[in-house]
Amino acid sequence: MAAAVGVEMDSPEHTSNLDMQQDAFDPAREIEWPDFLPPAPAPPFAHPLPFSLSLAEAQLQPTLAQPDEWEHLQREEDERLDEIRKFVLRFHIGYLYEHLGNVEIDWDLDGPEYICRVVGLPCYGYDYRKTGTVKLHLHTPSHIRQNDRSPARPLTPKPRRPRRAQS
């Protein structure tokens, strides 16, 4: 897995750098869904079928996806959607938090994009409704003091270009 560029992170949910995690999600990765839908659950009042399955239906039965497999795939899709949502949010409004390199920023916080995501302040989660308003808010003395009081996060060096082999 590729390491995050910019700073070391305490947890994937709360980060303070604006560099995107290179391994956050892979848009080219596809989840392969089975060709057949899982069998529908039987209603609680259903009685056994009065007839047996035909040979063709009996042969088809083993190829149907099991509900557990579909549930697993759906969970995987939901997790992937959450990662994509965080990535897009950081890409779209991450610049607003650029000057707050030491504070904890909660990218998992549900709500509109113009809420204060700085953890530990009374304004955390408050909706400022406009880009300009939240930008001004994030430059208030309380946010600057919170950033100054927070321990500095160690930066990781930027990747270097590989040197050409000398012949």
Residues facing residue 67 across a β-bridge:
none
118 vs 158, residue with greater confidence: 118
pLDDT tens readout for residues 66-110: 667 778 888 888 888 888 888 999 999 999 999 998 999 999 998
Question: To the nearest whole percent, how much of the chain has pLDDT over 90?
Answer: 31
The pair phi, psi for residue 118, each rounded to 5°, is -80, 120
DSSP, residue by residue, 128-148? --SHHHHHHHHTSHHHHHHHH
Between CA 158 and CA 4 the distance in angstroms is 10
98 vs 43, residue with greater confidence: 98
User: What residue type is 9 in one-letter code?
Assistant: M
Reply yes or no on whether the pLDDT at 16 is more than 60: no
12 vs 40, residue with greater confidence: 40
DSSP-derived secondary structure letter, 105: E
Lowest mean pLDDT among 11-20, 45-54, 66-75: 11-20
Q: Is the whole-model pTM more than 0.85?
A: no
User: What residue type is 46 in one-letter code?
Assistant: A
Domain boundaries, the chain: 8-18+67-152
